Amino acid sequence: MQFTRFTDLGLRVAMQLAAEHIARSTDSSTDHEKPSYRVTAATVSDAINASHTHVAKVVSRLVELGVVRSTRGRTGGISLLDEALDFPLGNLVQALEGDQNVLSTFRDDPLPIDENCRLVSVLARAQEDFYAQLNRLTIRDISIDNVAELTSTGAQEPVRGRIGA
C-alpha cells in the first residue's frame, strides 16, 4: 500500500508533536523553569523539512480528527492532545487517507475488474489486515525514539530532520 504525501506528512507531524509532548511531560524542571518555547505549524514544518503550506493543511486535518489542539493568536501554537498519544495508528492512517478503498483504483480503470472476482475479496481482506496491524501501534509507540533524541540534545526547539528520517 502506498500512502499519499498528505498521510506521510500527517504521520511525521504527529510524531514530532508526540515527541515534544512526551519530552515536556517527562521534564523534571518546575513549570516556572521551563522555557516558553511555542510549537507552531511553521516550526514543525521546518523540523520535518516540509512545506509550511502543506503542514498547515495537515495540522488543520489533525485538529478536525481530535489529535492536535491549535490555539490562535500571538501566544498560540499547536500541541498533541494527551489522549492522542494512544490514538491507533491504523485509524489515523485511514482518516488521513480519506478511507480510500484499495479497490477504487480497479473501478476507475478503463477495464474494471468484476466485483465478483476473487481478487477483489483477497485485496479487501489484505487492506483490512494492513490497518489491523497498524492499529496494534499508537502514536506514542512510533514516537519513543524521537523523544530520546529531543531529551538527549536538550533541544529547546524541534529536532530538525530527525522525525521519520
Domain boundaries, the chain: 5-153
pLDDT at 100 (0 to 100): 67
pLDDT at 40 (0 to 100): 92
**Average pLDDT of each block of 10 consecutive residues along the chain (165 residues)?**
88 92 72 62 92 95 95 90 94 87 59 68 87 94 69 47 45
84, 139 contact by CB (below 8 A)? yes
**Best CA proximity match to 146, nearest among 97, 103, 85:** 85
What is the pTM for the complete model shown?
A: 0.77
Rg of the chain's alpha carbons, rounded to an integer?
18
- In a 13 Å sphere around the CA of 51, the CA atoms on its Cβ side amount to 7
pLDDT at 109 (0 to 100): 57
pLDDT at 156 (0 to 100): 46
How far apart, in Å, do the first and last CA atoms of the chain sit? Answer: 19
**Best CA proximity match to 85, nearest among 145, 136, 140, 137:** 140
Structurally, at CATH architecture level, domain 5-153 sits in: Orthogonal Bundle (1.10)
pLDDT at 37 (0 to 100): 62
